[in-house]
């Protein structure tokens, strides 16, 4: 029943071609996450896929993010979490990473109230949001 958010394929391809290392961190079991990503043909863009069963503590703990960063060989200060929930914000903060949230995710609380650095209406807004974050740093 999983569907892709509009822009996933285009934005991942853009970042991949730009040389940006990317991974997926989810509380779903790792095998299920990998199968979903394979089904949609997205694994070629990803250097890390970390499911909830790969770590002891699920998001909002930072464990899965830190494991993905280790696999990508990226320091938290050089990374960005793109998520859609309060658990994503909490995990990113605990890992020492900035975070951008997308509207339409797993939250009943308005995304503006979750404490992200920026909020995007859709994935197509992500490249410009990343530039704004980088300019502000």
Contact 68, 23 (CB under 8 A): yes
User: Does CATH number 3.40.50.1000 belong to domain 8-136?
Assistant: yes
| Owner of token pair 């896929």 | 49
Residue pLDDT, tens place only, 33-77: 999 999 999 999 999 999 999 999 999 999 999 999 999 999 999
Helix, strand or coil, per DSSP, at residue 48: strand
The conformational region for residue 115 under phi > 0 = left, psi -120 to 50 = alpha, else beta, is: left
Q: Taking the domains of the chain in order of start, what are their residue ranges?
A: 8-136
Instruction: Count the Cβ atoms, other than its own, within 10 Å of residue 47.
Output: 16
Residue 82 CA to residue 75 CA, distance in Å, equals: 16
Mean pLDDT along residues 1-23: 93
pLDDT of residue 51: 97
Mean pLDDT along residues 74-91: 96
Residue 66 CA to residue 132 CA, distance in Å, equals: 24
Cite the DSSP H helix spans in the chain.
8-17, 30-39, 63-72, 86-95, 126-136
How confident is the prediction for the chain on average, in pLDDT? 95
Would the pTM of this model clear 0.85, i.e. be above it?
yes
Total residues found in the chain within this entry: 137
Task: Look at residue 93 and tell me whether its pLDDT is greater than 90.
Answer: yes
């Amino acid at each position: 029943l999983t569907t892709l958010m509009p822009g996933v394929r285009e934005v991942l391809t853009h970042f991949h071609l730009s040389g940006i290392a990317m991974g997926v961190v989810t509380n779903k079991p790792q095998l299920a996450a990998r199968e979903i990503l394979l089904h949609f043909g997205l694994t070629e863009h990803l250097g890390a896929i970390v499911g909830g069963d790969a770590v002891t503590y699920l998001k909002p703990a930072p464990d899965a993010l830190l494991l993905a960063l280790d696999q990508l060989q990226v320091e938290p200060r050089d990374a960005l979490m793109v998520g859609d929930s309060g658990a994503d914000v909490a995990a990113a903060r605990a890992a020492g990473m900035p975070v951008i949230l997308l509207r339409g995710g797993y939250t009943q609380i308005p995304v503006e109230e979750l404490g992200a650095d920026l909020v995007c209406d859709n994935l197509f807004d992500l490249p410009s949001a990343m530039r704004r974050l980088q300019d502000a740093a």
